[in-house]
Amino acid sequence: MAKYHFKLYIVGQTLRSQNAIANIQYICRHQLDGDYNLAIIDILEQPQIAEENKILATPTLVKEQPPPMRRVIGDLSESKKVLIGLGLKPKQVQASTHHNSHQTETDGEENGGIEHE
């Protein structure tokens, strides 16, 4: 079983939805060692799940495992803020030594969005 469980709520396949999906996948791969499980829920198709979880804004990312449960709203365009919002530590040290190129890429992403995927 994966260490991290996420649910991402979107409404339709809009550009914003696609950005959010790409961003969380990027974060998971580079910051969480790819040890994750991501369920994407389109509210247009499964409104009942959104109702049960009382989702208001989209996109909404919910971290279900490990506890505590956390929510981040938006297209997740800033990795560092997303990780902080999820209560996770950004891989600062590792990134600067072993994944230097990624760190710069992440910086670029913060300014310009999600061109990296």
Partner 1 sequence: MSEAIIKMAKLETGITGFDLVAKGGLPKGRTTLVTGTAGSGKTVFASQFLAEGIRKAGEAGVFVTFEETPKDIRKNVASLGWDIEGWEAEDQWTFVDASPQTQAETVVVGAYDLGALLARLEHAVHRTNAKRVAMDSLGAIFSRFDDDAKIRMELLRISAALKEMGVTSVMTAERNREYGNITRYGIEEFVADNVIILRNVLDNEKRRRTVEILKFRGTDHQKGEYPFTILPEDGFIVVPLSAIQLKQKSSNVRVTSGNEVLDKMCGGGFFRDSVILVSGATGTGKTLLVTQFIAGGAQNGERSLLFAFEESREQLFRNAQGWGVDFQKWEKEGKLKVVCEYPEVRGLEDQLLKMKEIIQEFKPNRVAVDSLSALERVATIRGFREFVISLTSFIKHGEVMGLFTNTTPTLVGGTSVTEAHISTLTDSIILLRYVEMYGEMQRGLTVLKMRGSQHDKDIRSFSIDGNGMHIGKPFRNVAGILAGQPTQVTPDEISRLSGMFQEPRSM
Binders of partner 1 in range 29-88 (CB under 8 A): 43-44, 47-48, 50-51, 54-60, 62, 69-78, 81-82, 84-85
Q: Give, rounded to a whole angstrom, the gap between the first and last alpha carbons of the chain.
A: 26
What tokens appear for 17 in the block? 């939805």
- What separation in angstroms does the CA of 62 have from each of 14, 55, 56, 92, 95? 19, 10, 12, 23, 25
By CB under 8 A, is residue 28 in contact with partner 1? Answer: no
Q: Which residues bind partner 1 (CB under 8 A)?
A: 9, 11-12, 16, 19-20, 23, 43-44, 47-48, 50-51, 54-60, 62, 69-78, 81-82, 84-85
